[in-house]
Amino acid sequence: MPELIEESMVVLDLAADDKDAAVRVLAERLAAAGRVTDVEQFLADVRAREQVMATGLEGGIGIPHARSIAVTAASLAFGRSPARVDFGASDGPADLIFLIAAPAEGGAEHMTILASLARRLVHGSFRESLRSLSGAAEVAALINREVGA
């Protein structure tokens, strides 16, 4: 099983005006890494999930996610947005954005990743490391160590 996130799936200067643009950038990274076979299908699945409930969390965090037939392996892409992107959190837009992609039949795996990530994000030290690390490889290693199953 591949690692949850690879260096190529980390965007440290995510330039996006809104959540759709931010999710597209991250989805394209997943596609380039061979984790998503059809970007448009995956984006439609993420948008459908977003319509059910906002995926913004307090503290500047966005966690868009979806199960999709276009996903080949449970994966996570990460973006750090200096401009911040609105994912519907009560305290405002997010600068830390995690895109969780899970295969359509991977329901339990999807929830495991989401729960593990949420448990880590309550720790200020984890959030601060994500905001301060300067290299994509360092960020990927941190996320795999802290969140990876």
Domain ranges of the chain: 7-146
As a whole number of angstroms, the distance between CA 13 and CA 37 comes to 25
- Supply the pLDDT for residue 1: 63
- Supply the pLDDT for residue 149: 54
Contact 42, 32 (CB under 8 A): no
Asked if the model's pLDDT at residue 109 lies above 90, the reply is no
- Supply the pLDDT for residue 39: 98
Asked if the model's pLDDT at residue 139 lies above 70, the reply is yes
Contact 3, 144 (CB under 8 A): yes
Active-site residue, 110 included: no
Backbone torsion region of residue 39, taken as left when φ is above 0, otherwise alpha when ψ lies between -120 and 50, otherwise beta: alpha
As a whole number of angstroms, the distance between CA 73 and CA 89 comes to 28
Find all residues with CB under 8 Å of 8, minimum gap 6, and list them.
29, 32, 33, 136
Phi, psi of 98 (to 5 degrees): -115, 125
Q: What is the CATH number of domain 7-146?
A: 3.40.930.10
- Supply the pLDDT for residue 110: 79
Q: Considering 19, 29, 65, 110, which one is annotated as catalytic?
A: 65
Give the mean model confidence (pLDDT) for residues 30-54. 96
pLDDT, the chain, mean: 94
Asked if the model's pLDDT at residue 84 lies above 70, the reply is yes
Which of 32-41, 61-70, 109-118, 131-140 is predicted least confidently?
109-118
Look at 33 and 50; give whichever has higher pLDDT. Answer: 33
CA nearest neighbour of 98 among 51, 59, 52, 135: 59
